[in-house]
Structure 1
């Protein structure tokens, strides 16, 4: 007789009956006399799933019920689609009164620069605007760090509210004190040979006239010149 048959012969009906007080779970596992009280009882993978299944709101399904699992998934998909449809319908009703409206294109701002602002000048700047339009010659008194430097006779081309002036056909006249011996600063290095700078870029010729007392009057002609407003002392209209 085999070992299994010996175990079955020594096992009583009360020990393998789940309703008996002398129920022995170890003998139930190895005995052939074991009978399930409820043949269609659901099966769970562990005790936690069994406890959770007692809650009616829980969706844990016993093992072997693939049809119920599929039905549950189809139900979830249907609920999700229904919810999305409700949200879409709600948004349509919410924004329905905006459907007839059309967006108005923004007006593009006109470009603003010195030339476009000249037409709106008022006050003293309006007189300069008249000089630009009529090509009137003006006289500009300039200054340096310690006083008046000289005078510019020129035609005004453009200007701005900071009194920066763009001039053409400029005749510059200024005064300086004469020096006994001109020296080249050490930082300048070797002096440029005479005529070399003129071959690279035309250097305006400066005419010097002695006025006496060690003072020289310098004159030079410039085709174009830009004067910063902080150097302007006075602007006088020569021609009318």
Structure 2
């Protein structure tokens, strides 16, 4: 503190005054009596920037003028976009005469089951309505000798061969009583442990006697795929 007091006492006002001919920058920096002539004077990072600003160059912006920097950046961006727009317009006019002779390639549209379903008509259009509106249908199936049974289900998908993908299926069919039924040898054996039946349980069949040795069988299947060659008739149950 004594050294600073001594330095301040030894410093004259003429040495720390910026307008004096005997101005001493070193003492002005470390003196507590230094007064800035202009409080809001612009600040530059070095002498080169100060000299450029004195020559009237607008590219040098004083320190702390953030608004001017942002304004300059926006003007540069707008000028760049305008130049790009003019260049694109010039190129467009330049190559306009060549666009007429250039061959136009048609976009190739891939056709699959989903795209063909959109343009179907007739009975297949009715099946499409069942898929879109989630209508419940009744499907009569056949075997090698005649009608096998009936399926009540929701239609999920189909194709032109009448292959049907069904969900929430209730299957109903008729067969002979157990004593009159010919069971293949493999069907009388229980399923082995670790087989597919343990992974996905086999739907349980409910049998109801109708008389004269005929039983009505029903079972519920979550999902079922029916080949088109087994479909006899499709009817809409609920609209």
> What's the TM-score, normalizing by structure 1?
0.52
* C-alpha separation in 2, matches of 1:227 and 1:149: 13
For residue 174 of structure 1, report the CA deviation from its aligned partner.
0.5
For residue 182 of structure 1, report the CA deviation from its aligned partner.
7.1
Tell me if the contact between 1:115 and 1:158 (Cα under 8 Å) persists in the aligned partners.
no
Tell me if the contact between 1:157 and 1:167 (Cα under 8 Å) persists in the aligned partners.
yes
Match of 1:214 in 2: 213
* C-alpha separation in 2, matches of 1:100 and 1:205: 70
Match of 1:160 in 2: 159
Match of 2:117 in 1: 118
* C-alpha separation in 1, matches of 2:120 and 2:226: 19
Tell me if the contact between 2:166 and 2:224 (Cα under 8 Å) persists in the aligned partners.
yes
Tell me if the contact between 2:167 and 2:222 (Cα under 8 Å) persists in the aligned partners.
yes
Structure 2 portions without partners, runs of 5+: 1-97
Question: Deviations along 1:164-206, whole A, 9 cap, x unmatched?
Answer: 1111111110011123187764567964258965422221111
* C-alpha separation in 2, matches of 1:164 and 1:209: 30
* C-alpha separation in 1, matches of 2:101 and 2:132: 45
For residue 111 of structure 1, report the CA deviation from its aligned partner.
2.7
Tell me if the contact between 1:157 and 1:168 (Cα under 8 Å) persists in the aligned partners.
yes
Tell me if the contact between 1:150 and 1:173 (Cα under 8 Å) persists in the aligned partners.
yes
1:200-211 matches, within 5 Å, as 200-211=199-210
Cα RMSD (Å) of the superposition?
3.0
* C-alpha separation in 2, matches of 1:157 and 1:189: 35
* C-alpha separation in 1, matches of 2:172 and 2:150: 5
For residue 124 of structure 1, report the CA deviation from its aligned partner.
1.4
User: Residue 125 of structure 1: SS of its match in structure 2?
Assistant: helix
* C-alpha separation in 2, matches of 1:188 and 1:179: 13
The structure with the larger Rg is 1
When you count helix as a share of all residues, which structure comes out higher?
2
Structure 1 portions without partners, runs of 5+: 1-98
> What's the TM-score, normalizing by structure 2?
0.52
